[in-house]
Structure 1
Amino acid sequence: MQQDPADMTPEDLSHAGSVVDKAIEYMMEQQIAPISIASALLGGALGLLARTMDDRAVASVLRNALASVESGELNEARQPPGDTRPA
């Protein structure tokens, strides 16, 4: 089964995001270190991608993620809510 991320419906993506957010919230409440949470989520995501996509498609997803980091898209996550200053 080959799943293209562009084929995901907004409802699926929103639902999946909500489930992951709740899992992260739960793990934080359990005092699990953020790096451990992130590593486990990344490992699980890579495993899922490997089972559902060929290597070229997985590499494309990873390149897109890296481009987001390099372009500064993640800076929003580092700012406190309501802070509109550039990160």
Structure 2
Amino acid sequence: MDEFATEEQIMQAGSMIDRMVKHMIEQKIPPIAVASALLGGALNVLSASLPDEAILRILHNAVESVQSGELREIDETRQ
């Protein structure tokens, strides 16, 4: 799968994920369980379509976002 996603497709997928997350939280599934399942699913999707080096770059960027506080800044703008 070397297909690139359009902005519309990304927004559609994000909207679907948001609805699923909301439903799981309403069902009283602990947020850590929801997040762990989402992360595991995302890694499975990535591993099916990208080489390990690309996945590691994505994960490294995520670590850098946490370390720099950028992830918290994004979360704060949503509240």
Query: Corresponding residue for 1:2?
Result: 2
Q: What TM-score do you get using the length of structure 2 for normalisation?
A: 0.86
1:40 alignment partner AA? A
| 1:6-85 correspondence to structure 2 within 5 Å | 7-76=4-73, 77=75, 81=79
Larger Rg: 1
Aligned positions, number = 78
- Greater share of residues in helix: 2
Question: Taking every aligned residue pair, what percent have the same amino acid on both sides?
Answer: 45
Q: What TM-score do you get using the length of structure 1 for normalisation?
A: 0.79
Q: CA deviation digits over 1:9-28, x for unaligned, max 9?
A: 21111111111110100000
Aligned-residue CA RMSD in angstroms?
1.8
Structure of greater relative contact order (alpha carbons < 8 Å, 6+ residues apart): 1
Runs of 4+ aligned residues of structure 1 deviating over 3 Å after TM superposition are none
Task: Mark the runs of 5 or more structure 1 residues left unpaired by the alignment.
Answer: 82-87
